Amino acid sequence: MAPRHVVPMSTSHAARGVCVLGTEVFLDTRRSTPRGAVSFDVHATPAVTVHMIHSPATKPSLDARWPLDPDIEVVVTIDATSRTVDDNQVKISYYDREGRELAVAWLYLTCVEVSLDVDWSRSGRVKSKGKDKDKWTWGPDGQGAVLLVNCDRDSPGAGGTDSGQADIRTPADLQDMSVMLLRTEGPSAIFAEYPVVLHVPESDADKVRVFHAVRGDAYPLYKPVLGPDKLSYVLDHAGHGDSTFYVEGLAFPDRGFSGLVSFSASLLEVPHKDSPGTPIFTDTVVFRVAPWIMTPNTQQPLEVFVCSIKQGSDSNEAFLEGLRALLRKANCKLTVCSEQDSRSDRWIQVSLPGPPPGTGEPLESPWHLFPLSQGPDFGYVTREPPGKSVTSLDSFGNLDVSPPVTVRGKEYPLGRILIGSPLPWMAGRRMCRAVRDFLYAQTVQAPLEVYSEWLSVGHVDEFLTFVPALDRKGFRLLLASPNACYKLFKEKQQQGHGEATQALRKKSIDEILADESLRSDNRHVQRCIDWNRDLLKQELGLSEQDIVDIPQLFILTNSRADALFPDMVNMLVLGRHLGIPKPFGPVVGGRCCLEQRVRELLEPLGLSCTFIDDFFSYHVLSGDVHCGTNVRRKPFAFKWWHVVP
């Protein structure tokens, strides 16, 4: 924590120095040893403790004098801050062989306190004198302070995020920052000679900003003192107790940035006015920037977002009516974004909802770069690759997160992120590296790349989703299943309903079952889904009892698959209420047999199924309910720093 502080002694004049409370001062006695001296002793005023460092074979004489041995070191510490300058003294006397005193060296010491402190114990309070403040460790027994990325907007009317402003415009902004205290105690005159400097490494400076709370005429002022354009700050009026600083994060962990940032306070010895000074004591603290965290379907929904598209044959007004009915059942807030705000784009799943600042924010893909609903405690972060044209895999229907799981004894208390990709050994469309690097860098939700490139759009939400359940692991994985669909249609055919026809595509069960080209397409699709099934069972610790197969057929176009009818796993999950794309399947006994089968599969789990018509407003445009909605969910109660990566 502190560099070795050495003070040279002299018999020709008294030495002066400063030391920090509780730290060691090494006395260099070699320069002060007079000719003919063979021993010495050390005396000090009461607040000074003298420590003699020596080998076991070296011992003082009966009169407490020590031999002049180059391996003996004299170290002093002081356990109380000075009230006046030079109020602590150390005297070293040198003796010849006859015991006569030859010379005396004096040292006058002023003891000060310099301590940089943060909430290293993660208790919500800044504590002083923490051990290993310069280290950060994961887990329930870990330590180290936490720093939030201040990417919401607490100031009404301000443009961009709060972190984009180099000032504090509202007291609410302070709630998104971490407190750092710099304590300085001692005679104020000594700090004029030995200044205290707060500083940040150049590598960390663009990741943080620090404000110093200073007393104003009517209310506190917050002076920006460290950040992208300033690496150090000399503390004014040192010696008068605690100085309060507020720290905000400017960047989430990312490629090349682990999330760790450090700050140091140094006491400098300045030999003359133009000298940069040399640190004689440094206290360092470390923060970890809170990661961006996704919330799974099992978290309580707080607000649903959807875009309004009013013009043209693909207006989503009918879809909105169905969605409103679902939200009334779920007792959940609905926010409808105007066409102007959404740039007439209905695919709002491009942004991901996250908890309030500190655990996650909506992340926008390169596909779009606009804040969904920025305001207090609702921020956003963007990632855009330089010079790369985006693909459909860059949209965030191609990103999901599992509920918390335990896999072969390894806990993932915040779940695991799922990214749609090609097969590991194949080239193909991938989510851009800028976003994938960002997701891996968050650390706490260990991403898993699944195989989605077999789909035309290529999104994971086209063949899987998670729903809450009251038993087993607390959830089920739903997988689209051609096999389950063929099994259902075969049952209906054997029951004499082969002529039942799909409402919109006008194709009967008999015709579907007789279509060998369609069956071949779906054998391929089933193999692709089965590959993912095995992967997810292995990497999420699932068994067959944790998986529900949802009947679904696909059709290949240019070797890639699209849903033949509205894709029912592409659903909106609001607690026990599910908003499922209405499949318009064959009607048997007055009911859509696909809807009936899904109810039979999910309602025993305590789930309520609402089927929403999205055929013309979303499905024919290559998406469904999940693609056209977005949900802000309640953050995890689990403290992310308790994760053991």
Instruction: Dump pLDDT digits (tens) for 538-567.
Output: 999 999 999 999 999 999 999 999 999 999
pLDDT band of 347, cuts 50, 70, 90: low
Residue 486: its H or E element: helix 482-494
pLDDT of residue 394 exceeding 80, the answer is no
Q: Which residues are CB-contacts of 475 (< 8 A; sequence separation ≥ 6)?
A: 296, 297, 298, 403, 466, 467, 468, 469, 546
- Active-site pick, 19, 111, 332, 627: 627
Count of C-beta atoms within a 10 Å radius of residue 587: 17
Q: What pairs with residue 106 in β-bridges? A: 91
Among 238, 203, 245, 206, residue whose Cα is nearest residue 223: 245
- Percent of the chain past pLDDT 90, that is, above it, reads 69
Alpha-carbon torsion angle 552, 556, 560, 562, nearest 10: -40
* pLDDT tens, position by position, 258-295: 999 999 999 999 887 777 889 999 999 999 999 999 99
Backbone phi and psi for residue 398, each to the nearest 5 degrees, phi listed first = -90, 25
Backbone phi and psi for residue 623, each to the nearest 5 degrees, phi listed first = -155, 175
Among 133, 91, 113, residue whose Cα is nearest residue 185: 113
Question: What's the pTM?
Answer: 0.88
* Cβ-contact 615, 582 below 8 angstroms: yes
* Cβ-contact 497, 513 below 8 angstroms: no
Q: Which two tokens stand for residue 423?
A: 């097969």
Among 136, 39, 45, residue whose Cα is nearest residue 86: 45
Average confidence (pLDDT) over 115-125: 94
352 or 505, which is more confident: 505
The structure tokens 């070296």 sit at 58
Which of 205-209, 301-305, 621-625 is modeled with the greatest confidence?
Answer: 205-209
How far is the C-alpha of 598 from the C-alpha of 563, rounded, in Å? Answer: 16
How far is the C-alpha of 328 from the C-alpha of 323, rounded, in Å? Answer: 9
Tell me the residue type at 12: S
Of the given ranges (169-178, 186-195, 348-357), which has the lowest mean pLDDT? 348-357
Strands in 46-162 per DSSP E: 48-53, 66-67, 73-78, 88-95, 101-117, 145-147
Q: What is the pLDDT of residue 378?
A: 67
How far is the C-alpha of 170 from the C-alpha of 154, rounded, in Å? Answer: 7
How far is the C-alpha of 340 from the C-alpha of 350, rounded, in Å? Answer: 16
Average confidence (pLDDT) over 377-393: 69
| Catalytic status, residue 627 | yes
How far is the C-alpha of 638 from the C-alpha of 641, rounded, in Å? Answer: 9
What is the radius of gyration, based on Cα positions, of the chain?
Answer: 34
Of the given ranges (130-134, 221-225, 448-452, 602-606), which has the lowest mean pLDDT? 130-134
Q: Which two tokens stand for residue 588?
A: 């048997």
Average confidence (pLDDT) over 412-440: 91
* Cβ-contact 101, 38 below 8 angstroms: no
Q: Which two tokens stand for residue 551?
A: 């009947």
- The burial class, CB within 10 Å (0-12 / 13-18 / 19+), for 113 is middle
Per DSSP, the residues of 524-588 read: HHHHHHHHHHHHHHHHHT--GGGEEEEE--EEEETTEEEESS--TTS-EEETTEEEEE-----EE
pLDDT band of 353, cuts 50, 70, 90: very low
SS3 content of the chain, % helix, strand, coil (to 5): 20, 35, 50
pLDDT band of 344, cuts 50, 70, 90: low
Q: What is the pLDDT of residue 356?
A: 34
Tell me the residue type at 264: S
Of the given ranges (65-69, 349-353, 401-405), which has the lowest mean pLDDT? 349-353
pLDDT of residue 348 exceeding 80, the answer is no
pLDDT of residue 361 exceeding 60, the answer is no
- The burial class, CB within 10 Å (0-12 / 13-18 / 19+), for 520 is exposed
pLDDT of residue 524 exceeding 80, the answer is yes
Tell me the residue type at 212: H
* pLDDT tens, position by position, 452-474: 999 999 999 999 999 999 988 99
∠ CA 207-366-617, nearest 5°, is: 140
How far is the C-alpha of 591 from the C-alpha of 584, rounded, in Å? Answer: 10
Of the given ranges (374-378, 461-465, 600-604), which has the lowest mean pLDDT? 374-378
∠ CA 306-312-313, nearest 5°, is: 95
* pLDDT tens, position by position, 581-596: 999 999 999 999 999 9
* Cβ-contact 48, 88 below 8 angstroms: yes
Q: What is the pLDDT of residue 11?
A: 87
The packing angle between helices 482-494 and 516-540, to 10°, is 130
* pLDDT tens, position by position, 474-499: 999 999 999 999 999 999 999 999 99
> Which is it for the CA torsion 322, 328, 334, 338, positive or negative?
positive
* pLDDT tens, position by position, 46-68: 999 999 999 888 888 878 899 99
Q: What is the pLDDT of residue 363?
A: 44
How far is the C-alpha of 281 from the C-alpha of 131, rounded, in Å? Answer: 16
Count of C-beta atoms within a 10 Å radius of residue 580: 29
* pLDDT tens, position by position, 94-113: 999 999 999 999 999 999 99
